[in-house]
Amino acid sequence: MNRIDKTFQKKQKLLSIYFSAGHPELQDTLPILQALQDSGVDMVEIGLPFSDPLADGPTIQESSTRALNNGMTTEKLFDQLENVRENIHIPMILMGYFNPVMQFGIERFCQKCKAIGIDGLIIPDLPVDIYHHEYKVLFDKYNLYNMFLITPQTSEERIRFIDSVSNGFIYMVSSASVTGAKSNFGNTQEDYFRRVANMQLKTPQLVGFGISNAETYMKAIRYSQGAIIGSAFIQFLEKNTITAIPEFIKTIR
């Protein structure tokens, strides 16, 4: 069974953390993963840096640029992760844009992920329709989950369609924005969270974008199965050491 499914079976409300591989320093990937697991985080998303991350706000853009300047590449990240499963047992997801995956070779990328023990991918600019037509067979062959996003503007019909082809979880984008933009959730978000919860989807939902503290985390998990923190964690890493990661997680839950 895929580790993502196992984790949802074991726990009610998940905390997942996103960070950009190669940021703040090139060799930080493994220490950050270890610290996150030791802090009790349920799942991690490792960001594959890209020169043109068009769905991301300034924080993730800058971390991505810095990672590239540090020399991070897809190849290097796979090298760093080669033996990661000796110590890391929580689900690991790679999140990145489609162009670097294409250049690496899509099947080769999937092979590498399987060999390392990656559980799934989030590729925001690979739309569900194209994925379904062209790449699903390949991802299935390597037992990789591919997670899709929904937003407050996604129609009920399309949410039902996405649910029907999803595995792992649905990434519920909290508001109409790029990553990191909002500091609090208002009634609009709560209505949207409730509306989706009432749809009784077969796939669990994790809320992401704009979750930065205990307050937004609690609001996000009230109607969903968990939440994802990215920009706020990256900002924390810029001002603190990796050893301080448990303190950050404690402020959330």
| Active-site residue, from 28, 45, 119, 163 | 45
Give the position of tokens 């853009």: 61
22 vs 226, beta carbon nearer other proteins: 22
- Is residue 112 within 8 Å of residue 64, measured between CB atoms? no
DSSP 195: H
92: its two tokens: 């690991």
- 96: which residues sit within 8 A by CB, 6+ positions away? 47, 48, 49, 50, 121, 122, 123
Q: How far is CA 177 from CA 57, 60, 152, 204, 235, in A?
A: 8, 13, 10, 22, 18
d(CA 143, CA 168): 11
Amino acid letter at 177? S
4 vs 178, beta carbon nearer other proteins: 178
d(CA 180, CA 182): 6
16 vs 179, beta carbon nearer other proteins: 179
Amino acid letter at 125? D
Alpha-carbon dihedral of residues 132, 149, 85, 69, nearest 10 degrees? 110
Give me the 66-85 binding string for other proteins, x by CB under 8 A, dash otherwise.
Answer: --x----xxx----------
Give me the 173-202 binding string for other proteins, x by CB under 8 A, dash otherwise.
Answer: x--xxx--x---------------------
We find the least distance from the C-beta atom of residue 141 to other proteins, in angstroms, to be 22
d(CA 153, CA 185): 16
Q: Binders of other proteins among 118-157, rule CB under 8 A?
A: 124-128, 130, 148-151, 153-155
We find the least distance from the C-beta atom of residue 102 to other proteins, in angstroms, to be 6
Residue 134 appears among annotated catalytic residues: no
Q: Binders of other proteins among 46-65, rule CB under 8 A?
A: 50-55, 57-58, 61, 65
34 binds other proteins (CB under 8 A): no
240 binds other proteins (CB under 8 A): no
Give me the 85-104 binding string for other proteins, x by CB under 8 A, dash otherwise.
Answer: ------------xxxxxxxx
- Is residue 208 within 8 Å of residue 45, measured between CB atoms? no
- Is residue 220 within 8 Å of residue 196, measured between CB atoms? no
Report the residue from 6, 158, 195, 222 that binds other proteins according to the rule CB under 8 A.
Answer: 158
Number of CB atoms found within 10 A of residue 52's CB: 10
52 vs 79, beta carbon nearer other proteins: 52
155 vs 243, beta carbon nearer other proteins: 155
Residue 28 appears among annotated catalytic residues: no
Amino acid letter at 112? K
**Catalytic residue ranges:** 45, 56
The residues that touch other proteins, with contacts defined as CB under 8 A, are 50-55, 57-58, 61, 65, 68, 73-75, 97-104, 124-128, 130, 148-151, 153-155, 158, 173, 176-178, 181
